[in-house]
């Protein structure tokens, strides 16, 4: 018995081992699995119904599917998992590692939602490459590939990663019933409101402080689609900094982890994030661009 207690107090598992345990819990969560299946399923259905006469389009707006289903579900799942991890630790009276370390393990486990978001984006990219797109999807010829990939990564896998990390943050700091659901609703409302400036050709960049800022409108009733202004590469830097800040803020809940190094890291993350946001808003194209009408979509709505 003495040996067992000693192992619990001095031989705590490594961060990698703790992270693998938490990652398996996420990967086996039925709500997360359902959200991933729905996200990939929607994407596949769009691709299957496309034909040579009616090719798939609006690829850059499809990222809303994994961001909504996987990202928001992961927020709730990780918030619940964070609280359950602490409840188990309190019951044991000998938790593996410090609270800060357990928080880092939960943060690493958020790579599972990120991988699910990446899967959804890969499916749509491969599918669109196989089906081709309408010639009017002009940004694939005029927008640099690195900008296209930055949009897909920022609004797909990084959004899913951010949803999970925000869930860890909520689980650490907010204890009232339904906290995760309240944050989900607030996040959706914030992102919806942030998109209003995107429709104004003079101020599309003011949507970009949002943690999920759309870059393409999707095809409208007249067959055209709008590409919103901004620099997607620096926007990707900005949202990655938001993810890093969520991890640091969650770790900050542990008083023993509030070291000078953590304060420095938080300050550096904020500075880099603000620089990234500023450059995203001030470099690249600052005006909206509208594509030519896609003929079959005009016929469909007429």
- In this predicted model, what pLDDT tens digit does every residue of 259-271 receive, in sequence order? 999 999 999 999 9
Contact 288, 229 (CB under 8 A): yes
**Mean of the pLDDT values across residues 88-97?**
58
For 95, the token pair is 């938790």
DSSP conformational letter for 12: P
Asked whether residue 200 carries a pLDDT value surpassing 70, the answer given is no
- In this predicted model, what pLDDT tens digit does every residue of 29-65 receive, in sequence order? 999 999 999 999 999 998 888 877 788 878 888 999 9
Per-domain boundaries in the chain: 9-301
Q: What is the mean pLDDT of the chain?
A: 87
**Mean of the pLDDT values across residues 199-215?**
86
Spatial CB neighbours of 55, under 8 Å, sequence gap ≥ 6: 131, 132, 133, 134
Number of other CB atoms surrounding residue 121 within 10 Å:
23
- In this predicted model, what pLDDT tens digit does every residue of 212-255 receive, in sequence order? 999 988 777 787 888 898 999 999 999 999 999 999 999 999 99
For residue 136, the model assigns a pLDDT of: 67
Asked whether residue 91 carries a pLDDT value surpassing 90, the answer given is no
**Mean of the pLDDT values across residues 14-24?**
94
Q: What are phi and psi of 284, to 5 degrees?
A: 75, -160
Give the span between the Cα atoms of 171 and 177, in whole angstroms. Answer: 11
The alpha carbons of the chain give a radius of gyration, in whole angstroms, of: 21
Q: State the DSSP H helix or E strand holding residue 226, giving kind and residue range, or none if neither.
A: strand 226-227
Q: What are phi and psi of 290, to 5 degrees?
A: -115, 130
Q: 1-35 in b/e burial notation, b at 16+ Cβ within 10 A?
A: eeeeeeeeeeebeeeeebbeebbebbeebeebeeb
Instruction: Return the sign of the alpha-carbon dihedral for residues 147, 148, 154, 155.
Output: positive
Asked whether residue 3 carries a pLDDT value surpassing 50, the answer given is no
For residue 300, the model assigns a pLDDT of: 60
For residue 281, the model assigns a pLDDT of: 94
DSSP conformational letter for 229: P
């Amino acid at each position: 018995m003495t040996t067992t207690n000693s192992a619990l107090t001095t031989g705590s598992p490594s961060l990698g081992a703790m992270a693998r345990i938490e990652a398996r819990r996420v990967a086996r969560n039925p709500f997360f699995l359902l959200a991933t299946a729905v996200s990939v399923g929607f994407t596949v259905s769009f691709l299957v119904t496309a034909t040579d006469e009616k090719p798939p389009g609006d690829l850059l707006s499809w990222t809303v599917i994994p961001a909504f289903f996987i990202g928001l579900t992961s927020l709730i799942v990780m918030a619940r998992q964070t609280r359950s991890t602490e409840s188990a630790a309190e019951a044991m009276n000998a938790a593996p590692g410090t609270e800060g370390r357990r928080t880092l393990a939960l943060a690493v486990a958020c790579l599972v939602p990120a991988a699910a978001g990446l899967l959804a984006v890969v499916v749509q990219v491969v599918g669109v490459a196989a089906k081709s797109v309408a010639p009017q999807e002009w940004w694939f010829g005029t927008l640099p590939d690195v900008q296209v990939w930055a949009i897909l990564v920022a609004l797909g896998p990084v959004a899913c990663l951010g949803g999970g990390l925000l869930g860890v943050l909520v689980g650490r700091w907010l204890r009232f019933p339904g906290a995760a659901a309240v944050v989900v609703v607030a996040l959706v409302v914030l992102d919806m409101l942030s998109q209003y400036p995107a429709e104004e050709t003079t101020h599309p960049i003011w949507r970009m402080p949002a943690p999920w800022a759309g870059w393409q409108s999707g095809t409208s009733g007249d067959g055209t689609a709008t590409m919103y202004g901004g620099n997607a590469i620096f926007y990707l830097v900005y949202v990655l900094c938001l993810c890093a800040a969520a991890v640091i803020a969650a770790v900050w809940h542990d008083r023993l982890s509030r070291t000078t190094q953590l304060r420095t890291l938080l300050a550096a993350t904020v500075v880099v994030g603000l620089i990234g946001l500023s450059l995203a808003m001030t470099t690249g194209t600052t005006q909206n661009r509208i594509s030519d009408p896609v003929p079959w979509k005009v016929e469909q709505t007429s």
